[in-house]
Structure 1
């Protein structure tokens, strides 16, 4: 994914603002400050630290609000979106029209009814807690865990997706999971920040368990046992970088074979308990050693510990939909301690965030009617083809790749499907049981619907028209199984600007390089290159070409390994390799395509900056943000994206054109010796 500015969740954004500021006079437009020039810190030498130069002025004037762990362009876009989505919800609540409006109104009203939510306290999950209490043996435990897993993610992470080696088939897949901390490193790393989080974790679990009715002493003991159990699972969980190898995380086996390596769980019963009946007797297990450890723990750990573990994951997953006291307690650990957020967003924004996950595409149907037009859609569809053409030329001119692999690469490039703006067909949410009921029940109903929606894909042809993001999302992605790039309307937004106000230099940097070029390059990064034109995990490189690619990629791993983010924590060059390759590739492709524009050829400055300078500034606008230290530390351990600053300074120091445009010399901070620059695409 191209944008990853705030959290592991997709960041909703604002679609093209065709309706914003309509009717303003030309004089008013002229008076609007240039968004690129306005962000500059002129006290910084761009050849020394380009990110601080191009975004530093804005950062100095815009501190991170207390309710956020980071603040940047994604938030600015989000703020505009919040206002418009709130209006859509309030209008639906006041006068619901069709079935979609009724669901939106019901969800909104239930989420905004804080009086009812606080009065209910723990009641929305009482039946689930009673079901846990009623468990008397391991078989009942596993059956209940399978049912509650749909809502809590406890024990493991089953899901349904395309078979990586047969992209025409949907497959049931099992992944590692079941941890309450962000990933396995939080259970073992010894640096000060991670240790602080780990030491605070048992006390947080205990506080949450007390809401379920446990006394303080029982909750303290239960929390200690839960941490020991999760630590056992974490020991057999793979590290972030190791999860990025698609071949190493693909193990197709029968249910019988899974039972041989994890036999203390009846996997056929587990699968059936999840409502899955339509599947061949094969599953794809990502990390078999995790399931062996899970099976061992089911037998070795006391039943009481497992029951308390399920209670913990239940209340943790439901916390945001429960009373203010429960939600605030959960926030204090996961948001304040882990991310540095000082306070929660106001309730209406939190409800909109939850609604985005629940029925975001339904909102999108209403949204695009008002805020995305055909002219903008056409501009970016054309830009995709400009970028595709740039990569075609680069592949043809590669000196390190054989003709055999080149031809296959060119064929794959030609087969990449582009999806721009919004889906041609929308999901049908009519069966989602959102109605006048509690907020927690509506969220649970949405999760159940998404689970059923996913299960229903088994045994059916793959729907290659489907979108996995909503139109209003400030994000984008490349899907290797479909060999497609998906570019929601929101990703092209510059806050407060209409599309026609944006010059090509800005757009080719902001959208062409950091979004379109980035996503196309993902098809040829260290992971994406392992999938063929049809979306199958299948080797199509010669061994010699593969070796040469890996040698060039290793240069980038070393480069990013050397960057210190916070305290003594370095970027994980191997874990972030795919995103770093895509950033660099996107810049090169955007630059190549931009050179064919009239603006580049005329070379007339705007706001004192030349078109080439504005291209690099435009790319950097996409990473306009700053982040609290707590959140930076978390991302280093959990995120496959480098922090924003290094997504600018890192790849730019590998781009020869950047050196020429800004006269970068040896001794400058942005300088890298020619032999140390990354040369892949």
Structure 2
């Protein structure tokens, strides 16, 4: 199943969710974090988010025995992390997950009420019926593999490479795999219009490294066993032999695919072609059939993201026997459909995708998975009822004021930069002035009236929802871009920046403690939600965001001299992260995490500056012996407390553009002069970085 876009095909977020490689990997969205979506535990609890101590910080979670300059993350969070036991249905747990638990429980309450309402209509009836179809385990189990029958028959009937390419195009609107992905989103060089983006695809594990490095050899072996298991469950012939051939094919694709770090480059991934040009450039793939299957025949041009990989992947497709391609299509169909099928499929999916790849011992309870499914496929219908129940209007007004404070701080920082020339400064300030912000929920909600949901057809519901979403994207190719569209649902604990819209977005669910507490000490809020706001604003000026102007157009508005100075500091920051090995033999990739690292450093600086501005020249109060600056830094650190299972951490290090939380605290603070003053950090301390070696960008 292709990841649904909900308008989010281009942003950078606070926390990115782990997922198999798919079209979602192409998103230029800048997302704040990497928390898994909709993973919650325990009984339904719709109480308020837990306050973090009397003034917004949980002092009991500190480890005072660790000096701030020795390990600031552990100084601020060590006691909490040491005592933390990751729930058995989780691959990680921490602050994000705890708040996400509240959001998921609230969604469950909305869905339970909707499912129970005999007189429900409209969105309420739709999400209630969708949820009931997921929760009716007896009906789903009774069908066994039957829901796959029609789709598998289409695969069996394929007689040529053209037939297979057409089926690959059709998977954009349903279950199944393709060696090329497609999506429709804002044109990066003409952001007022939509365009078709194509990308490399064709691998079923989280990253090419899983196929090519010894570090993941055990996972690769277990992947082959998983492929064989699903083919057996689907009734496909010769499952073991076909599984070997499938993994061989995917390994060849991995070998010629771009790395994730290479795929971050907005300039290198913008490669427009007319269809005749694409056919000439990568002639070994039946593009006409693929485009027809995806209903994209009206598109006059496409943008090929990893273009140099296209001819190589096309050649692999051409050289792979039709019968192997058909087995691969049957496997990818079954893999993506498995969560919505009978228990043997669900158990196999959990055994590999969650247990093997992320170390999660137990499967999430069915109700959690049901909540996640409805949020994924009918998220705004659910979100509309969610915010009516759980998002107070005053939170929106207070957030708007905080955003204004952070923008003021950014304006001052740009004006005060010593390394940037006046021409570039003027354009940076112009871009900042054009930032727009969305808080809480959309002004205009999606209309789901044409989506058919049936209480006894979970598989069909998901297929129809995917087709509904794809048609929504494709049908607007000739329409102007809708700037009111959201890329996340309101119950999402996250935030993002969209470069094509020059827009920062904060869903309702993140506007709660520990990020935002209207009754907390202001310094904690400036370190928490202030740092988040600053993070998203800084994404507009990170190594990729800086390439788009105030109107969202991908264009070079920098002088060569200023760009060179920026790049030098960015490389310096990347080297700091690349020198860190969270696990032996598994370093942070400073190139892959570059944008998020710049945004973390800039975000914390902006939160600190905005706090200083809020004091209006008055001295900061001291609370429980902590100064104002100390509390800002502690507020940032508290946001990131948590821990990972080892397999989940290994997965993040190769596939996620965010550094692990421990280093999202320690590396930024070590580059901020005020942190040294606030905590009396000395040259002999382990985290000390000499002043001349500290990174100074924004």
Q: TM-score range by the shorter chain?
A: over 0.9
User: 2:107, 2:491 within 8 Å by CA — same for their partners in 1?
Assistant: no
CA shift, 1:119, in A, is 1.1
User: 1:505, 1:600 within 8 Å by CA — same for their partners in 2?
Assistant: no
Residues 662-681 of structure 1: pairs in structure 2 closer than 5 A: 662-681=679-698
User: 2:230, 2:331 within 8 Å by CA — same for their partners in 1?
Assistant: yes
Match of 2:611 in 1: 594
Q: Distance in 2 between matches of 1:464 and 1:261?
A: 34
Residues 579-590 of structure 1: pairs in structure 2 closer than 5 A: 579-590=596-607
Match of 1:25 in 2: none
User: 2:500, 2:552 within 8 Å by CA — same for their partners in 1?
Assistant: yes
Matched, 1:242 2:262: yes
User: 1:13, 1:77 within 8 Å by CA — same for their partners in 2?
Assistant: no
Q: Specify which of 606, 609, 616 is matched with residue 633 of structure 2.
A: 616
Match of 2:350 in 1: 331
SS of alignment partner, residue 284 of structure 1: strand
Matched, 1:44 2:44: no
Distance 1:488 1:544, change over 3 A: same
Q: Specify which of 513, 516, 519 is matched with residue 494 of structure 1.
A: 513
Residues 428-450 of structure 1: CA deviation (Å, up to 9, x unaligned): 11112222232111111111111
User: 1:36, 1:614 within 8 Å by CA — same for their partners in 2?
Assistant: no
How many pairs does the alignment contain? 665
User: Which is worse superposed, 261-270 or 109-118?
Assistant: 261-270
Match of 1:64 in 2: 86
User: 1:13, 1:490 within 8 Å by CA — same for their partners in 2?
Assistant: no
Match of 1:253 in 2: 273
Matched, 1:415 2:431: no
Matched, 1:654 2:671: yes
Q: Distance in 1 between matches of 2:35 and 2:305?
A: 23
CA shift, 1:547, in A, is 0.6
Q: Distance in 2 between matches of 1:409 and 1:30?
A: 37
User: 2:56, 2:524 within 8 Å by CA — same for their partners in 1?
Assistant: no
SS of alignment partner, residue 445 of structure 2: coil
Q: Specify which of 129, 135, 150 is matched with residue 127 of structure 1.
A: 150
Unaligned stretches of 5+ in structure 1?
23-27
Match of 2:222 in 1: 200
Matched, 1:482 2:531: no
Distance 1:498 1:520, change over 3 A: closer
Q: Distance in 2 between matches of 1:571 and 1:142?
A: 37
CA shift, 1:277, in A, is 3.7
SS of alignment partner, residue 434 of structure 1: coil
User: 1:600, 1:612 within 8 Å by CA — same for their partners in 2?
Assistant: no
SS of alignment partner, residue 147 of structure 2: helix
CA shift, 1:608, in A, is 4.1
Residues 322-361 of structure 1: pairs in structure 2 closer than 5 A: 322-361=341-380
Matched, 1:3 2:20: no
Unaligned stretches of 5+ in structure 2?
1-11, 20-33, 40-45
Distance 1:657 1:244, change over 3 A: same
SS of alignment partner, residue 115 of structure 2: helix
Match of 2:106 in 1: 84
User: 1:155, 1:294 within 8 Å by CA — same for their partners in 2?
Assistant: yes
Q: Distance in 1 between matches of 2:678 and 2:35?
A: 34
Match of 1:106 in 2: 129
Distance 1:552 1:83, change over 3 A: same
User: Which is worse superposed, 408-417 or 353-362?
Assistant: 353-362
Distance 1:180 1:11, change over 3 A: closer
User: Which is worse superposed, 308-317 or 440-449?
Assistant: 440-449
Residues 197-253 of structure 1: CA deviation (Å, up to 9, x unaligned): 1122211111111001136xx111001100111112112210011011111111101
Match of 1:387 in 2: 406
Residues 438-496 of structure 1: CA deviation (Å, up to 9, x unaligned): 2111111111111111112200011011111111111111100011111112222216x
User: 1:376, 1:499 within 8 Å by CA — same for their partners in 2?
Assistant: no
Q: Distance in 1 between matches of 2:107 and 2:35?
A: 17
CA shift, 1:635, in A, is 0.7
Residues 375-419 of structure 1: CA deviation (Å, up to 9, x unaligned): 211111111111111111111111111101110000001001111
Residues 257-656 of structure 1: pairs in structure 2 closer than 5 A: 257-280=277-300, 282-494=301-513, 499-513=517-531, 515-598=532-615, 601-656=618-673
Q: Distance in 2 between matches of 1:212 and 1:537?
A: 45
Q: Distance in 2 between matches of 1:6 and 1:520?
A: 21
Distance 1:31 1:663, change over 3 A: closer
Q: Distance in 1 between matches of 2:80 and 2:426?
A: 45
Q: Distance in 1 between matches of 2:393 and 2:129?
A: 32
When normalised by structure 2's length, the TM-score is: 0.92
Q: Specify which of 161, 183, 186 is matched with residue 138 of structure 1.
A: 161
SS of alignment partner, residue 157 of structure 1: strand
* C-alpha RMSD of matched pairs (Å): 2.1
SS of alignment partner, residue 93 of structure 2: strand
CA shift, 1:363, in A, is 1.0
Matched, 1:154 2:171: no
Distance 1:521 1:188, change over 3 A: same
Q: Distance in 1 between matches of 2:48 and 2:535?
A: 31
SS of alignment partner, residue 171 of structure 2: helix
Residues 328-361 of structure 1: CA deviation (Å, up to 9, x unaligned): 1111111111101001111000111111111111
CA shift, 1:524, in A, is 0.4
CA shift, 1:89, in A, is 0.9
Match of 2:192 in 1: 168
CA shift, 1:11, in A, is 4.7
Distance 1:348 1:443, change over 3 A: same
SS of alignment partner, residue 626 of structure 1: strand
SS of alignment partner, residue 589 of structure 2: coil
Distance 1:42 1:641, change over 3 A: same
User: 2:166, 2:291 within 8 Å by CA — same for their partners in 1?
Assistant: no
Q: Distance in 1 between matches of 2:194 and 2:576?
A: 38
SS of alignment partner, residue 3 of structure 1: strand
Distance 1:124 1:607, change over 3 A: farther
Distance 1:202 1:600, change over 3 A: farther
User: 1:48, 1:668 within 8 Å by CA — same for their partners in 2?
Assistant: yes
Residues 552-592 of structure 1: CA deviation (Å, up to 9, x unaligned): 11110111111111122110011111100000000111100
Matched, 1:54 2:76: yes
Q: Distance in 2 between matches of 1:312 and 1:468?
A: 30
When normalised by structure 1's length, the TM-score is: 0.94
CA shift, 1:154, in A, is 2.3
Q: Distance in 1 between matches of 2:286 and 2:165?
A: 8
CA shift, 1:263, in A, is 2.0
